[in-house]
Amino acid sequence: MTRISERFKSWEGLLLVLLVAVVAFNIIESPVYLGGQNFVNLFQLSIEKIMVALVMTFIIINGEIDLSVASMMGLSACVLATLWRLGQPMVLCILVALIVGLIGGAFNGFWISMAGLPSLAVTLATLIMYRGLALVLLEDKSIGQFPQWFNDLGQKALFGPLPLALVIFFVGFILALVILQYSGFGRYVYVIGNNRDVARYSGVRVQRVKMSIFIASGFIAALAGIFLAARLGAVRGSTAEGFELDIITMVLLGGVSIFGGTGTLFGVLLSILLVLNLRNGMGLLNISGNAQTGVIGALLILSVLVPNLAARVQAEWNRRRAASQPPAAVKQAVSAE
Amino acid sequence: MTNTLRRYLRPQQIRELSLLLLIIVVLIFFSTQIENYLSPRFFNRIASDVAIIAVVAVGETLVVLTRNVDLSVGSIVGVTAYFMGTYLGNNKDLNPALAVGMAIGLGAALGVINGALVAYGRVPAIITTLGTLAIYRAALVELSGAKTVVIDAMPKWVQDLPSQTFVSFGGLDVRPLMLTALIVVVLFQLVLSFTQFGRRLYAIGSNPEGARFAGLPTERVVFAAFVLCGALSGLGGFMFLARFGNITVVAAQGMELQVIAAVVVGGVNIFGGTGTMFGALLGAILINILQQSLIRMPQISQFWINALLGVLILAAVATDALILSRLRQLWARTSVQMTEGQAKRIASGK
């Protein structure tokens, strides 16, 4: 147990070192980096992804995955835009988009927790399904010209220098931290992720916990989709396509095990900062968005590969040390001869 | 009698027969909705499109059978189509066999990366291929400089390939792409049924731990499955180039979803261990018929296709998990416990 916690301490330490290196690079490359406004911009450009990353942390620690979040973001944005074009008041559009998120999350949750299907297959299907519905709504059109106050939600600073989405992220982070690391529900999330059967036999309501997390995931994804619509000022059928790559990368890079049961929100926060700063730095180097996505993909693989290799080297090291020091019984046998 | 029936009509075959039935129902339905629906032209178009998906789906099936998944196939198809297009544009007198071989080799090389990471690096397949999906596509966009491959720059034999006809049965043409797909499907079905490698794929997929304890070289087999999947995607990429001719850097983007849909709808269990190449082919045919038919239905938006694909995948996974697994258990149990007489009595309802 202690060894695991030590490994994760050192994983977070590694992230911190990387983060310092990337930030140092950014500071050297760009004189405006240290300004408060740049800090806000840094978050602002990926704010929707990092919101969803918080709830994705719960899902992956729970031993599941939700590949449909980006499609859900797109679907909620498209629902909002379609209703707005039909002349509904914006507040109603937002409400309906959020409800769509709840329903979409519950739909995932039903098949995963009640029917017991693998989340990988279910959310791969709904990734296609929700994106398909978004395309049905908007076809190849683009809808914009939202009311000014709505666009301001995504673009303007509302609290001092901070836009609303950023405030929601920080409040959400603290909330998620309390729930995951200091509440009974959070313990259940870990226990189920560690061993689903043991959790069930110990009386944990596995189905209910899984259901609530997937509903939360759908809801947060829908909320993020609304903020994305507000920030971009226009919505298309392909809005938020491919965002799941960044989101899952942020969570796994933060030291959350893809097999469930381990990981902390602090690690995820560190990896969010790392990914944001890395994208910023690559932008400073004029690396195109496409190549940046490639780098994120490599980061995703490395975030699982490196701990795997480290564990194997450690095991090999232990084995050799054990082999070079024969156990006491063997020593006795040898000396008796 | 019932025993023979039982031997030849296992749950997997019931699954595939019902899929065949579904295809026929879909064809009948659309032919009542669309005028001149069942024409030779329609057949030829579907055959060419299915051919590409089917070849890649065969590769994907190899991987899915081992309880893994390859999301990077769309990117591999795009990369090989683009690079072979560029290369053939610059070297028009390249030997056709060599060109196809190069495409397969390029695909296999990308498959080696996937396979090494999954089998030896122990990175879960979903993570590995989600990453390489992005990496391969990013590499393509960066290295290509966003230029487009055009059909006119291709050598003549590539331009003629998709429309060449070997034999024609009343307008239903047998063309190279379709023939390639059929050969690939049959060949790999034989590999699955009759070779040690094929049986090992099933063994690893049904129980990875058990297969390891039984001494199977699971790592090598999974690695080989990914390499073959890459190679077949490479072949698919070459077919894509021949079929469409004009290749941009976003070629075949999202194709992985169609391929996985074909495989899963075709009865290959996403949790490994069961499925056949014929099933995957049927899945590809069903999906393509739906796609092509929706385009021709003016009253329904063609954009419904993706939503429909999602529903199909979910339905397929749900039937596998909830109905077929029970059917399989029943089959396994009854075939052990029952004598022929008992089975007969049950079958006749007494």
Each residue's pLDDT tens digit, B292-349: 888 888 777 878 888 888 998 898 888 877 777 777 777 777 665 555 555 555 555 5
pLDDT higher at A17 or B298: A17
Is the sign of the CA dihedral A302, B70, A224, A183 positive or negative? negative
Complex-level ipTM beyond the 0.90 threshold:
no
The answer, yes or no, to whether residue A201 has pLDDT greater than 60, is yes
Q: Which of A115, A258, A298 sits opposite B322 (nearest CB)?
A: A115
pLDDT in tens, B106-135: 999 999 999 999 999 999 998 899 999 999
Q: How many CB pairs under 8 A join A and B?
A: 131
For A142-170, what is the mean pLDDT?
87
Contact check, Cβ <8 Å, A117/B321: yes
pLDDT score of A329: 55
Mean confidence (pLDDT) of chain A: 88
Contact check, Cβ <8 Å, A128/B128: no
Q: How many residues in chain B?
A: 350
Contact check, Cβ <8 Å, B306/A128: yes
The CATH architecture assigned to A2-318 reads: Orthogonal Bundle (1.10)
Residues in A closer than 8 angstroms to B326, CB to CB, are none
Chain B residues near any Cβ of chain A (below 8 Å)? 69, 117, 121-124, 126-128, 130-135, 137-139, 141-142, 257, 260-261, 264, 270-271, 301, 303-311, 313-314, 317-318, 321-322
Chain A residue nearest residue B142, CA to CA: A291
CA B318 to chain centroid = 20
Tell me if A42 sits within 8 A of A276, measured CB to CB: yes
> Mind telling me how many Å the CA of A125 is from chain B's nearest CA?
4
Contact check, Cβ <8 Å, B303/A139: yes
pLDDT score of A2: 47
Q: Which of A118, A258, A293 sits opposite B127 (nearest CB)?
A: A258
Residue B25 burial (CB < 10 Å; 0-12/13-18/19+)? exposed
Reported as type and span, the H/E element at residue A162 is strand A162-163
Q: At the topology level of CATH, where does B2-347 sit?
A: ABC transporter involved in vitamin B12 uptake, BtuC (1.10.3470)
For A186-202, what is the mean pLDDT?
89
CA distance A9 to A270: 12
For the question of whether the overall pTM of this predicted structure is more than 0.90, the answer is no
Contact check, Cβ <8 Å, A248/B303: no
CA distance B263 to B283: 6
Mutate to test the interface with A, among B126, B127, B290, B319 (most CBs of A within 10 A): B127
CA distance A274 to A44: 15
Tell me if A207 sits within 8 A of A106, measured CB to CB: no
Mutate to test the interface with A, among B76, B123, B265, B297 (most CBs of A within 10 A): B123
> Mind telling me how many Å the CA of A209 is from chain B's nearest CA?
21
